[in-house]
Structure 1
């Protein structure tokens, strides 16, 4: 493969990572540097793979710079971040050829490595004006984003390899299982790190309101990603498809775990009006961690489909025979076959065409089935209430009913 073909391949790989444009936007708004890019850096070429340019630097995706004129070439060799906020007054970079050639005062660049440690390129941001970019928090944010991009690159390559290697239906199934497991495990650590970093950024004193609002949005998406990754790992280990181990769990323990989950939901949506309650008075045969995942799924589904100013009520309680989750909000409506996704993807909607804000109960439905429970929607005072009901003491449902829906309690 020629250098030009390899550069196009790497450009396409970065473009397949949906989060990259948002990452570059967050970097420019958080650091104040008006140009940010993901660059592929080899021993012969510097190629821009993704760009956010608010300063008319003139470089577009696919564009190249002379390798030897870039600091990224030095980073390729020593594999360490480089950051300065005022080049002309910096003891090391005042006479450096790169700031002088490109008229830079502010610069931050961190290496991007694939998951196997191979150097890919850099995540960088620049500006012709000085800035206060030399802070540990800024560097840590850049390194976390670079790690996420590197992980996604590795995942993309694993996927390409698996597709090329599949020849039979059995091979496809086995490779998909390995791939999903690798993706789930690879994403856990960077997502957790990003959640912590987003919280630190959001709680920084003096943070501008527009940046704080964007970080809140990041936190919401990260919590959703964490929930989805948990479901991916479950499927990779067949823990949902073949049933989860149900353990007799004391009422207090169930209440504490579900209250913790509710607190996470509230924390992830500080701008929403949420009323939550967890009153668990009886022991439950369950996998309490999976029930927490189901509760988050129901809450997120509702929050995506009601007005931002609507008060959402989330109630957890027990009766003499059942554990019940109720999620309700003014204006909540489920029409048509939204609950069909309890037993599979929404009918007639492919992965690439399904609206991003559609209902999706697939993972929640699998957890419900494993607990011999059901997910229902009922009209209450002209609004819709979404409910999950499971028996306090029940065996795992051995087989999916012929209709594909959850077994009735």
Structure 2
């Protein structure tokens, strides 16, 4: 005879403690835990945050609810999140002991050690992301002291550090580091992309195919981030956007290649083309391909998912005109004022977040071609238009 056993409810295990008191204790444990805690919805917005994290950062809960995690990060933290943490979280569903600096309501930096784990349903779709924060002020101070002690033993490094007396010099050093890092990332990124393409040619099950396609998409997005960061660093260091013009080679194959790459990366989105290029264009084909990639990526990010994105290119009256348009919510007047500034980002889906450099780099490429990049946005469509003389 089989015995019938059941798990006793919490009220039976602790009969002397009222259920309401247990609930209050659990709520108090969450709100006043010795660590910060917040939860992100699948779209990437904060829907729950405890009092501990609010007290540390100086924000009221209502000021954080509905915001993205980027709201609490500085620019360096946003870069690290986009290029490292977000891909890691999507691939394995968690990350542990990541060092990040939170920006408090007063603008101060608060060193943290961060852990996160996704909660997924039975089919593997993310339901929410739980993130915990532990203060790391003393740990960071100890690490800085070790670095300072090491630097003191190296006279050459100490002399170099002493020479960086102005904010401008410090900023230039930081941007040089970004540029070197971007170059060093290109080779391993190309190897990953080549390996994924080779594996995609061989028979595999559905899960393996999805993972490889996600790797290809991530490589494409990271390559774009690297290009944008490098161009931004060069511009800030005085080099500007460099061009290699050629009027003897058609631009249309480059435009089509960019469209094909984004179609492969986002097969559920529709991209329509209308190319009527009948005259030679004195331009840098690679740079214009970068401009188109940034504009198309922006349209796919912000456009209505069920509507197509249209790219037009034509030559007429001595001018080359290229436009990218999408349906969806219009750009607000406030956002219009900052649209082409570096590190400005609108409201986007979490899976397609970037660094906010794409439109800035596109506008710099337009200027380098002695052209203009403008935008018009209303309830019908949002259209970015690049216009340049055919020969300059």
TM-score range, shorter chain: 0.5 to 0.7
Match of 1:369 in 2: 367
Distance in 2 between residues matched to 1:208 and 1:306, nearest whole Å: 29
Listed as ranges, the gaps of 5+ residues in structure 1 are 1-13, 29-34, 40-48, 55-59, 63-161, 350-354, 395-409
- The Cα offsets for residues 316-357 of structure 1, whole Å up to 9 and x where unpaired, read as 2222322222212232522224444454236799xxxxx947
Q: Which moved more, 1:381-390 or 1:340-349?
A: 340-349
- Size of the aligned set, in residue pairs, is 257
Give the equivalent residue in structure 2 for 1:247. Answer: 245
Partner of 1:261: 258
Per the normalisation by structure 1, the TM-score is 0.51
Give 2:320's match in structure 1, choosing from 319, 323, 326.
Answer: 323
Q: Could you tell me how far apart the structure 1 residues matched to 2:367 and 2:336 are?
A: 14
C-alpha deviation, 1:255, in angstroms: 1.9
Evaluate the alpha carbon distance shift between residue 203 and residue 17 of structure 1 in structure 2; reply closer, same or farther with a 3 A threshold: farther
Structure 2 residue 59 is matched with structure 1 residue 23 = no
Distance 1:309 1:183 in 2: 38
Q: Give the deviation of 1:295 after TM superposition.
A: 0.3
Asked if the contact 2:243/2:287 (under 8 Å) is kept, the reply is no
Alignment partner of 1:302 is 2:299: yes
Q: 1:203 to 1:315 in 2, by over 3 A?
A: farther
- Give deviations 1:104-137, integer Å, cap 9, x for gaps: xxxxxxxxxxxxxxxxxxxxxxxxxxxxxxxxxx
Q: 8 Å contact 1:316–1:326 — kept in the other structure?
A: yes
d(CA) in 2 for partners of 1:261, 1:169? 39
Alignment partners' CA distance in 2, 1:168 and 1:344: 24
- Structure 2: distance between partners of 1:360 and 1:36: 28
Report the secondary structure of 2:323's partner residue.
strand
**In structure 1, how many angstroms separate the alpha carbons of the residues matched to 2:221 and 2:365?**
17
The aligned residue for residue 143 of structure 1 is none
> Are 1:251 and 1:281, in contact at CA under 8 Å, matched by a contact in 2?
no
d(CA) in 2 for partners of 1:21, 1:229: 16
Give structure 2 stretches of 5+ with no counterpart. Answer: 1-76, 99-113, 120-131, 135-159, 347-351
Query: Within 1, Cα distance between the matches of 2:313 and 2:296?
Result: 12
Match of 1:233 among 225, 230, 233: 230
> Is the CA contact (8 Å cut-off) linking 1:338 and 1:359 kept in structure 2?
no
Q: CA 1:285–1:380 in 2, change beyond 3 Å: closer, same or farther?
A: farther
Q: CA deviation at 1:236?
A: 4.0
Change in 2 beyond 3 A, CA 1:326/1:192 = same
Cα separation, 2, equivalents of 1:198 and 1:176: 33
Match of 1:275, SS state, is strand
The equivalent of 2:32 in structure 1 is none
Which range moved further: 265-274 or 243-252? 243-252
Which of 251, 263, 271 does residue 274 from structure 1 map onto?
A: 271
The structural deviation recorded for 1:219 is 3.1
Residue equivalent to 1:10: none
**1:32-47 superposed matches below 5 A:** none
2:221 counterpart residue number: 224
Deviation, structure 1 residue 284 = 1.7
Measured against aligned partners, the alpha-carbon deviations of 1:43-77 in whole angstroms (never above 9, x if no partner) come to xxxxxx989799xxxxx999xxxxxxxxxxxxxxx
